[in-house]
Amino acid sequence: MKTIFRTAVIASAAVLSVACGSQSTPKAVAPAAEVAEVVPTVSVVEVSTREVPQTAVYTSTVQPYVKNNIAPQMAGRITKINAEIGDFVKKGQVLAEIDKVQLQQAQLQLHNQEVELERLRTLYEAGALSKSDLDAIELSYNVTKTQVENLLENTVLCSPIDGVVTARNYDVGDMYAMSMPIYTVEQIKPVKLLVAISESEYNKVKKGDSVEIKADALPTVTFNGKINKIYPTIDPSTRTFTAEVVVANNYNSLRPGMFVRATVNFGVNNSVVIPDVAVVKQQGSGERFVYVLNSDGTVTYTKVVLGRRMGTEYEVLEGIEDGATIVTGGQIRLKDGIKVNVNE
């Protein structure tokens, strides 16, 4: 019985020894395969230099070329009103008349002095009157004559310009109290615009330069104007200067107060032009960049200074050379110095 038990124990130990030996020898693990780097594919275009019109659009408001307030220099009752708002009037046309009592009295006095002056001249020529007495009478006559002329100018009110009546503030029978004009007449053939232009363009603007005018109220019509005056100072708050533009307005189409856009032409520049889709905006700043394709198939992240925008293109002032090849598609996967494939 003891012999059988000892044999069983030895057999069990042998089995256990074999099992433990099989766990102590691990199998070798094969190394992982390397992942191949993906080269991005991009679209490119070769850029070139061409003439770029240097134009800029500014907003303004139409103003009359001349504005006159028609008013006498003295109070008086208005006896005639000859024009209404909207009437076109000619230079010298009588618009209104003031009570003529003072004028008539002064005219009568002038007439009497004129008769007396002729009589005294006869006496002077006959030697019956001294030169000093005659001079005194002539001075008095000239003073009265000037008074009559002033009264006539302030009693019969005429338009000093060809224009349109834009205001009438009194009726017949009203007493003119010198608080506001009887009429306002504005010359609208021509009209003028005051355009605020960036100070950086000051040396590019010349008197006589052409300006194209478009009015929102007249979208199908283009007007041509010329720079008539350039103000010599810069506004320090806006960094602009003022140019006065005159527009012929032959058909009276433009009216004071109209909103207009004035396109000023500063000539042309020979500049590199690039598609707008090539421009990458740097996040967090206003800087612009373009990816330039190098001869070795890599790209360079290049800062550019842009000029004028022309539809879907930009003028480049700095950063890109004539004949350069730039990326126009696929920039989202790019970084400076990376190698790319070009989409044929």
Confidence check: pLDDT of 223 > 80: yes
pLDDT digits (tens, 9 = 90+) for 71-105: 998 888 999 999 999 999 999 999 999 998 787 88
Confidence check: pLDDT of 219 > 70: yes
Other Cβ atoms within 10 Å of 180 Cβ, number:
12
pLDDT score at 27: 52
CA dihedral angle for residue 102, residue 105, residue 110, residue 116, rounded to 10 degrees: -160
Peptide bond between residue 190 and the one before it cis (omega within 30 degrees of 0): yes
pLDDT score at 31: 52
User: Per-residue confidence at 222, pLDDT binned at 50, 70, 90?
Assistant: very high
Whether residue 325 contacts residue 341, with contact meaning beta carbons closer than 8 Å, is answered with no
Q: How far is CA 262 from the centre of its chain?
A: 6
pLDDT digits (tens, 9 = 90+) for 263-278: 999 888 999 999 999 9
Confidence check: pLDDT of 25 > 70: no
Confidence check: pLDDT of 30 > 60: no
Question: How far is Cα 292 from Cα 42, in angstroms, rounded to an integer?
Answer: 11
Other Cβ atoms within 10 Å of 344 Cβ, number:
5
Could you tell me the two tokens for 70?
């028609």
pLDDT digits (tens, 9 = 90+) for 160-213: 999 999 999 999 999 998 789 999 999 999 999 999 999 999 999 999 999 999
68, 102, 163, 186, 324 from 83: Cα distances, Å: 15, 24, 12, 14, 69
Among 296, 291, 278, 284, smallest CA distance to 336 is for 291
CATH number of 42-51+270-342: 2.40.420.20
User: Per-residue confidence at 34, pLDDT binned at 50, 70, 90?
Assistant: low
Question: How far is Cα 209 from Cα 190, in angstroms, rounded to an integer?
Answer: 17
Question: How far is Cα 315 from Cα 305, in angstroms, rounded to an integer?
Answer: 9
User: Per-residue confidence at 15, pLDDT binned at 50, 70, 90?
Assistant: very low
| Angle CA 239–243–245, to nearest 5 | 150
> What pTM did the predictor assign?
0.69
- Segment 25-51 shows an average pLDDT of 74
Q: What percent of the chain has pLDDT over 90?
A: 64
Q: What percent of the chain has pLDDT over 70?
A: 90
Query: Domain residues of the chain, as ranges?
Result: 42-51+270-342, 57-65+187-268, 99-154
Superfamily of domain 57-65+187-268: Efflux pump adaptor protein, beta barrel domain (2.40.30.170)
Confidence check: pLDDT of 294 > 70: yes
Among 336, 250, 318, 326, smallest CA distance to 42 is for 326
Mean residue pLDDT across the chain: 87
Residue type, 242: T
Query: Terminal CA-to-CA distance of the chain, rounded, Å?
Result: 93
16, 273, 326, 327 from 323: Cα distances, Å: 82, 10, 9, 13
